Amino acid sequence: MDMTSVYTASDAPVRAILAVVLTPEKDAREAAVSLDELERLLETAGGSLFCQVIQNRESPDNATYLGKGKLEEIGALCRDNGVQLIVCDDELSPSQIKNMEDAIEKAAGDDQLEVRVIDRSMLILDIFALHAVSGEGKLQVELAQLRYSVPRLYGQGKDMSRLGGGIGTRGPGESQLEKDRRHVHRRIAALEAQLAELAKSRAVRRARREDAGVFRMAIVGYTNAGKSTLLNRLTSAGVLAEDKLFATLDTTTRKFTLPSGRELLLTDTVGFIRRLPHHLIEAFRSTLEEVRYNDALMIVIDAADPECVAQLEVTEKLLYDLGVFDKPVLYVLNKCDIAEGLSEELLFRSRRDRMVAVSALDGRGIDTLTGELERLVLGGRRLYLLKVPSAEMGVIHKLYNNAMVEDIEYFDGYARVVALLDEKTAGQLRRFIVKGQDGAGEKGILV
């Protein structure tokens, strides 16, 4: 099976129909959102939407996913409008793909017509294949594609042998399939070995790293949220940022020097999406797990997308599944230049987590973000100005023990102390605090 050319780029965009079966169990809104996202994926892969087909059914057809009537309609649409690709939003079995292709071509009544049927996972794999740049990225994509194709090779074998009890299909055809399978398995093993080598040398590099003590932060989030643009804004990293899904597949790390002179390392990462094919997650696991070697996460949210809270939930779920969601998180609401008001849902969410509103494009909010980064690097400590009476010199002692005293001046009857306090200490010393670093509360959106 030629998995690398699910979609072959040519000059004219391939016209495609997107199809989904809407069963009573499915949430109609969620299905519509997913279908719109499929359209964005299609565009990113270089295709253009001809139309969407939504079929209401009790369940998808076992043999053909869509019903017979719908396939006939699609056949006519393909014939009359030069549509060459059908993308279904649910995962299809190999036999469903074959049966659908046959039914559509037959309904079109045109021998010359060639229609290709693929599913969401194949489309995402295809985009990854188009966007992979580094050697490792390419190996990971190939591994995901091959792993995806394995059950399909077996599937084809089964279907073939079922035809006529297998008579007439067992000869060379069958042994060719066996050869393909053996070849695929050999290639998978070779890819796994190469990737394991790469992961190992990365671990060695990590152990030897000279910047071992520097605070590290991973920029994560839904695809297209603006992660790369934000890294570029903060560090002039020159990372490719574009209005495409999965523009970034390779991680990039850049040093960022905060106004206080403290340094941190920011790493741009691959974006997430609803129903990311698990073969991709597996193949990219070692890259994704790199997030683990960071001290904190910056989750970038596209505040202009009405779906941003659902996207945030997908992101958090994936981080949790990868076992890396146990770190301090800084939530960044990006694209505030074009966000038209924040949804109730987002405002509600911001009551649980502190969020910083920014625009990576025009730079608004970046100073506040920088302030938050200072805070994080200091491990949640903040600067306070305290006035401590001479009679309470024990407090100064305590400050030297528990906090970082940045500056101290003695006056008649009191000392004026500038100190970095953690929350607990600040609570205990509340009566001496004259001023906190900023007036913002712990929760809510900082603008």
Positions in the binding site for ligand GTP (CB under 6 A):
221, 223-229, 241-243, 245-248, 271, 334-335, 337-338, 359-361
Tokens 């394995």 belong to residue: 150
Stretch touching Mg ion by CB under 5 A, among 67-75, 227-235, 285-293, 305-313: 227-235
Of the candidate residues 55, 64, 149, 228, the single one contacting Mg ion (CB under 5 A)? 228
Beta strands, E only, 11-162: 14-22, 47-56, 85-88, 116-119
- To the nearest 10°, report the CA torsion of 438, 225, 259, 290: 110
Using the contact rule CB under 5 A, the part of the chain among 10-18, 243-251, 387-395, 420-428 near Mg ion is 243-251
- Phi, psi dihedral angles at 359 (to 5 degrees): -130, 115
Q: Which residue is nearest to Mg ion (CB)?
A: 248
Q: Are 126 and 145 in contact (CB under 8 A)?
A: no
| Tokens standing for residue 264 | 């941190």
Q: Which stretch binds Mg ion (CB under 5 A): 44-52, 131-139, 225-233, 323-331?
A: 225-233
Taking the complex as a whole, the smallest distance from the CB of residue 269 to ligand GTP amounts, in Å, to 8
- Residue 72 contact among Mg ion, ligand GTP, none, beta carbon within 5 to 8 Å by kind: none
Give the strand order in the sheet containing 14-22.
47-56, 14-22, 85-88, 116-119
Among 140, 232, 248, 350, binds Mg ion (CB under 5 A): 248
By C-beta, is 94 or 271 nearer to ligand GTP? 271
CB of 228 to ligand GTP, least distance (A): 3
Strands (E), 310-432: 329-334, 354-357, 382-389, 404-411, 414-421
Place of tokens 């990365």: 202
Q: Which is nearer to ligand GTP, 20 or 291 (CB)?
A: 291
Q: Decide whether 86 or 283 has the Cβ nearer to ligand GTP.
A: 283
Q: ∠ CA 37-41-43 to the nearest 5 degrees?
A: 115
Q: Which two tokens stand for residue 268?
A: 């741009």
Stretch that binds Mg ion, among 180-188, 226-234, 254-262, 307-315 (CB under 5 A): 226-234
Residue 64 touching Mg ion (CB under 5 A):
no
- Choose among 52, 136, 143, 141: nearest CA to 89: 52
Query: Could you tell me how many helices (H) and strands (E) the chain has, helices first?
Result: 14, 15
Q: How far is the CB of 390 from ligand GTP (least distance, A)?
A: 51
**Site residues (vs Mg ion, CB under 5 A):** 227-228, 247-248
